Amino acid sequence: MLLQPVILSGGSGSRLWPLSREAYPKQFLPLTSEHSMLQETVRRVDELAAEHPQLGIESRAPIVVCNQAHRFLVAEQFRLMNRALAAIVLEPVGRNTAPALTLAALVATAEGADPVLLVMPADHVITNNPGFRAAVADGLQLAAEGAVVTFGIVPSKPETGYGYLRQGEVVQSLPAAPLNGPAFRLEAFVEKPDTEQAQTYLASGEYLWNSGIFMLKASLWLELIERFRADMAAAVRAALPEYSGTEEFIHLSAKAFEACPSDSIDYAVMEPLSASREPEDPKLLLVPLDVGWSDVGAWSALWEVRDQDELGNVCEGDAFAHDSHNNLLIAQHRMLAAVGVEDLIVVETADAVLVAHKDHAQDVKAVPQFLSTAKRNEHRDHQRVHRPWGSYSGIDRGPRYQVKRLSVKPGHALSLQMHHHRAEHWIVVSGTARVTCEDQVQLLTENQSTYIPVGARHRLENPGTIPLEIIEVQSGSYLGEDDIVRFEDVYQRVEETDKP
C-alpha cells in the first residue's frame, strides 16, 4: 500500500504569542519535547511499516504545504532531522486547508501514482504514537478500498472550542487484514456547541472531537473537490505550474492563487459529502483516536499536556514558584518568580512578556492583532530573526543607528546587495568572514572589522566550518529592512526586498 504523508503547515499560532509569531509560528517551536511540533509530526509515522508488516506499506517522503515565507524554516527542520522531502508547496497567501490539500493531491499524482494521503496538521500533539499508528494502519486499509476516513478524538471533557463528529453504526465490511479497533460510519459534522450541548454530546458517547486528520486516495480527493467546489479546483490548477517531480520548492502563481476561494476541508467537501445520498458517494468513515491528542490551540492547552509539579505548576527556564498553583511559567531570558498566584500564564521573551489568566487564554490573539494595527513588529518577528543563511538579533537602537548580531551558518552567504540610506560597520566576533565590497574581496577574522558605505554593493559570506558571528552597526537616515536592493542571491530572493 502506497502512503503519502501530507503535512499542512499554514497556521500562525497567534494564541501562543509571544513565543509563536508570524515569521516563526508554533509548528517550528519545541513546545513539548526537544523536537519542534513539525518534526514530531514527521516522526510520528516513522515505525508505521515496521509495526504493521502485514500491510506492505510503502511510505513516501512527506509533502509539506506552507506559507512561502516559511520555506527555508521547513527545509532547515528536515535538514536537522536528516530527512528527505517530496516537495514543499509554497502558498503566496493563505487560502485554508481545502486548496492546500488540492495542491498536495496534484503533486502526489503528478507522476501517475495514486497514493493514499495521510493529511496531518503540523502543530498537533499526540502522546501515544503507537496508538496513533495503529489507527492510521486501519485508516490506510479503509482508504485503499475507496473510503474517505476521518479521525475523531475521544473527548475527555465538554469542550466548546472544537467541532464534533457524530458516529453511526460500526462498519461491517472489513478489509482482508483485521483492524486494530472499530471503525464507524460518519453521520454528520457538528458545529462548535455551547456548554450545555457539549455536555450532552459527552454523555451520549456518540460524538468525537474533529481532529482535522484525514485519509483518502489522492484521486478521490481530486474527484470530490471537482464535484463540490469546481471553482476552487480550477483556481488551484491554474496556480500550480507543471511539476517535474524533482523540485524541492514548488512556487505558485501568486495572481492565480489569490483568486482561489478560501475554505476548509470540512466545509468544502466533508460536510456536503456527509449530507449527500447519491449512490456513487464513497463511504465516509470515522476512526476513533484516544491517543493523548491536543491541538495546543492556546496556552491553557499547553499547560494541560506538559508535566506539572505537585502544585500543578509548569516551570520552564529560570522560573520559580512559591505558594502558587496551576500556573504556566516560561522564562527565556530573565529570572521569573511567581508568589501567591494561581491559574496564571506568564511567558517571558527577549522583547515581550505575557501575563494572562488561564480562563482567558483564547483572548491572547488580541495582542498580535493590536500590534499589527499599531504597525509594530512584535506580532511578526522575534528579537532573533531567522533567515536561510542564519539569523540576526537586535541589540540596541536609537535615532539614526542600530546594532545587530549576525550569525551566518558555515558555507552560507547573504545576498549581494546595497542600501540607499544606511552605511554599515562589521566587526567579527568569531569565525571567518569573506567580505565583498564593490570590487574588493577580503577575509576577516576575530576582532577585525570593515566599513560598507551607503550605496556600495556588498556581500557577507562564511567560508569556514564554524558559525560566523558578526556585530553590525548601522547608521543612516532610514534603517528599515526594506532598504535592500538585491543583485544576486543563492536563495532566489532577489525580488523579495523586505528580507535581508
**Does the pLDDT value for residue 500 go beyond 50?**
no
Rg (Cα) of the chain, in Å, rounded? 25
Residues 214 and 340 in one domain: no
Host H or E run for residue 223? helix 218-228
Question: Which cell goes with 227?
Answer: 464535484
**pLDDT tier at 241, thresholds 50, 70, 90:** confident
Q: Give the three-class secondary structure for 274.
A: helix
Q: What cell numbers appear for 458 in the block?
A: 556588498
* Domain match, 167 and 251 both: yes
Phi/psi of residue 33, each to 5°?
-160, -175
5-33 residues labelled b (16+ CB within 10 A) or e (exposed):
bbbbbbbbbbbbbbbbbbbbbbbbbebbe
Is there a domain that residue 96 lies in? yes
SS3 226: helix
Q: Both 342 and 473 in a single domain?
A: no
Secondary structure in 3-state letters for 313-327? CEEECCEEEECCECC
Q: Is the dihedral of CA 165, 169, 170, 176 positive or negative?
A: negative
Q: State pLDDT tens for residues 135-162.
A: 999 999 999 999 999 999 999 999 888 9
With respect to residue 377, please indicate whether it lies within any of the assigned structural domains. Answer: no
Cis peptide before 25 (omega within 30 of 0): no
- My answer on whether 249 and 281 are in the same domain is yes
Looking at residue 68, what is its pLDDT? Answer: 93
What pairing do the DSSP bridges indicate for beta strands 485-488 and 416-418? antiparallel
**103 and 201 share a domain?**
yes
Q: Specify the 3-state DSSP secondary structure of 118.
A: strand
Question: Is the model's pLDDT at 499 over the cut of 80?
Answer: no
Confidence at residue 244, expressed as pLDDT on a 0 to 100 scale: 66
Domain boundary among 368, 396, 422: 368
- DSSP notation for 330-390: EESSS-EEEES-BSEEEEE-SS-EEEEEGGGGGGGGHHHHHHHHTT-STTT--SEEEETTE
Indicate the length of the chain as a whole number. 500
Which pLDDT score is estimated for 494? 56
Q: Where would I find the H helices in 111-184?
A: 129-144
List Cα–Cα distances, 25 to 30, 173, 217, 372, in angstroms.
11, 43, 30, 15
Q: How many domains, in total, are found in the chain?
A: 3
Q: 497 in a domain, yes or no?
A: no
| 374 within a domain of the structure (yes/no) | no
Predicted pLDDT of residue 374: 96
Mean pLDDT value across residues 11-28: 94
Same domain, 64 and 81: yes
Residue 177 has what DSSP assignment? S
Asked if the structure places residue 494 within a domain, the reply is: no
Number of neighbours of residue 322 by Cβ within 10 angstroms: 10
| Residues contacting residue 315 through CB under 8 Å, at least 6 positions apart | 309, 321, 329
pTM for the full predicted model: 0.90
| Domain boundaries, position 361 | 299-368
In this structure, what C-alpha cell is assigned to residue 452? Answer: 560598507
Q: Is residue 356 part of a domain?
A: yes
Which tens digit of pLDDT belongs to each residue from 432-491?
Answer: 999 999 999 999 999 999 999 999 999 999 999 999 999 999 999 999 888 999 999 988
CATH number of the domain that 405 lies in? 2.60.120.10
Which pLDDT value is given to residue 172?
A: 75
Q: What is the mean pLDDT of residues 31-51?
A: 95
Rounded to 5°, angle at Cα 87 from 460 and 1: 150
Residue 329 and residue 214 share a domain: no
Mean pLDDT over each residue of the chain, to the nearest integer: 94
Tell me if residue 475 falls in helix, strand or coil. Answer: strand
> Average pLDDT of 41-68?
95
Strand bridging mode 440-444 / 468-476:
unpaired
**What pLDDT does residue 161 have?**
87
* Collapsed DSSP state (helix, strand, coil) of residue 135: helix
**DSSP letter assigned to residue 21:** B
Percent of the chain, pLDDT > 90?
A: 91
